[in-house]
């Protein structure tokens, strides 16, 4: 018999098929977020880019455990669950928030603060069994502190305000970025947070630039002040992070954490290995 585990952010989804507790197959698709995508859109992606790759074992799948961004309400979980049930016909489908995935992968059975720093951001206080406190992230417009989307948004704001240093501005435009291209992607196309996070890759390529380093410190400082600092007795816990942004900028984040009185713990790029151990 086979089990499917999925870890989904707003950018990508890692699917792992287990056979008797061991990895049988790994697949990547685009990320799913029910705040931005409909059940039909999610179903179509599964049909086109997942189902054909697992067709040989699909009839033997006994359970699907899906952890996803945006799966924080009954309605959003139901959207994902329906898409999976209608396309894969698995007898058991469990949909949980990606925060629980992060906490299980980072803290195992210990108490701690678990953070997601990727396209978006989120965090929670975990007691070794369940999430006991969560400061709502509220998305890229008002939250997502320390995320790729916030980094991209802050950098674009400096560009629009003409406060970027000339050398950075020229390099940015050489990469193909300009006012109309940015506005078109943010206001006319789907998944604007994903587009803004893609700009953070340019930022990361120049993270040693004094201007960029200062911008990154501002973003990560806002994460500790607006997210981590609000948990009960927060400084009694180690801060753990999962996600591409947290992993790529771990040295800068550690500096900001220390300045805010925190100690960094485990930093990993993806929670999938921890989830595999959990579901064995």
Could you report the per-residue pLDDT of 164-175, keeping only the tens digit for each? 999 999 999 998
Q: State pLDDT tens for residues 77-97.
A: 999 999 999 999 888 999 998
- The yes-or-no verdict on residue 29 having pLDDT over 80 is yes
Percentages (nearest 5) of helix, strand, coil residues in the chain: 50, 20, 30
Q: Please report the pLDDT score of residue 252 as a whole number.
A: 94
pLDDT at residue 138, rounded to an integer: 73
Q: Tell me, what DSSP letter sits at residue 230? A: G
Per the domain annotation, does 248 fall within a domain? no
Instruction: With respect to residue 71, please indicate whether it lies within any of the assigned structural domains.
Output: yes
Render pLDDT for 59-69 as a digit per residue (tens, 0 to 9).
888 999 999 88
- Out of 4-13, 48-57, 220-229, the most confident range is 220-229
Q: What is the per-residue pLDDT for 141?
A: 76
Q: Look at residue 96 and tell me if it is in a domain.
A: yes
* DSSP one-letter code for 189: S
**How would residue 160 be classed by pLDDT, with cut points 50, 70 and 90?**
very high
End-to-end CA distance of the chain: 13
Residue with tokens 């320390």: 146
pLDDT band at 184 (very low <50, low <70, confident <90, very high): confident
DSSP letter at 2? E
| Residues 93-126 pLDDT 10s | 999 988 899 999 998 888 999 999 988 899 999 9
| Residue ranges making up the domain that contains 9 | 2-100+273-279
Structure tokens of 134?
């969560």
| Residue 48, token pair as written in the block | 């086109």
- Tokens 């950075």 label which residue? 168
Residue 12 lies in a domain: yes
How high is the pLDDT of residue 166? 92
| Number of domains, the chain | 1
Q: pLDDT class for 33, splitting at 50, 70, 90?
A: confident
Average model confidence (pLDDT) across the chain:
90
270 or 66: which leads in pLDDT: 66
Q: What is the CA radius of gyration of the chain?
A: 19
Q: Could you tell me if residue 19 is inside a domain?
A: yes
Is 174 domain-assigned? no
Q: What is the CATH number for 52?
A: 3.30.420.40
pLDDT, residue 146, reads: 92
**Count of C-beta atoms within a 10 Å radius of residue 147:** 30
Strand partners, 96: 67
β 264-268/239-242 pair status: parallel
pTM: 0.76
Report how far Cα 46 is from the mean position of its chain's Cα atoms.
19
- Taking the C-alpha atoms of residue 128 and residue 271, their distance in angstroms, rounded to an integer, is 16
Does residue 195 have a pLDDT over 90? Answer: no
Helix (H, G, I), strand (E, B) or coil at 80: helix
Q: What average pLDDT does this structure show over 17-34?
A: 88
Residue 128: its H or E element: none
* Residue at 57 is within a domain: yes
| Cα–Cα distance for residue pair 226/218, rounded to 1 Å | 12
Domain for residue 268, yes or no? no
CA separation for the pair 168, 198 (Å, rounded)? 16
């Amino acid at each position: 018999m086979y089990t499917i585990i999925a870890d989904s952010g707003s950018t990508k989804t890692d699917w792992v098929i287990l056979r008797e507790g061991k990895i049988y197959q790994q697949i990547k698709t685009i990320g799913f977020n029910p705040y931005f995508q409909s059940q039909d859109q999610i179903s179509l992606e599964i049909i086109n880019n997942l189902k054909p790759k697992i067709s040989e074992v699909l009839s033997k799948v006994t359970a699907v455990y899906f952890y996803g961004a945006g799966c924080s309400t009954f309605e959003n979980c139901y959207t994902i669950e329906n898409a999976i049930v209608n396309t894969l016909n698995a007898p058991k489908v469990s949909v949980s928030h990606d925060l629980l995935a992060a906490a299980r992968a980072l803290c195992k059975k210990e108490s701690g603060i678990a953070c997601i720093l990727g396209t978006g951001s989120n965090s929670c206080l975990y007691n070794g069994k369940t999430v006991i406190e969560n400061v709502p992230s509220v998305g890229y417009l008002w939250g997502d502190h320390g995320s790729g989307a916030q980094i991209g948004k802050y950098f674009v704001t400096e560009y629009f305000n003409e406060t970027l240093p000339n050398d950075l501005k020229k390099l940015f435009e050489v990469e193909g970025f300009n006012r109309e291209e940015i506005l078109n992607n943010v206001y006319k196309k789907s998944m604007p947070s994903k587009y803004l996070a893609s700009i953070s890759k340019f930022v990361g390529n120049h993270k040693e630039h004094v201007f960029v380093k200062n911008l990154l410190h501002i973003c990560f400082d806002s994460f500790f002040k607006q997210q981590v600092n609000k948990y009960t007795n927060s400084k009694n816990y180690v801060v753990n992070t999962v996600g591409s942004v947290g992993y790529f900028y771990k040295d800068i984040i550690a500096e900001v954490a220390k300045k805010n009185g925190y100690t960094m713990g485990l930093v990993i790029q993806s929670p999938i290995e921890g989830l595999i151990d959990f579901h064995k």
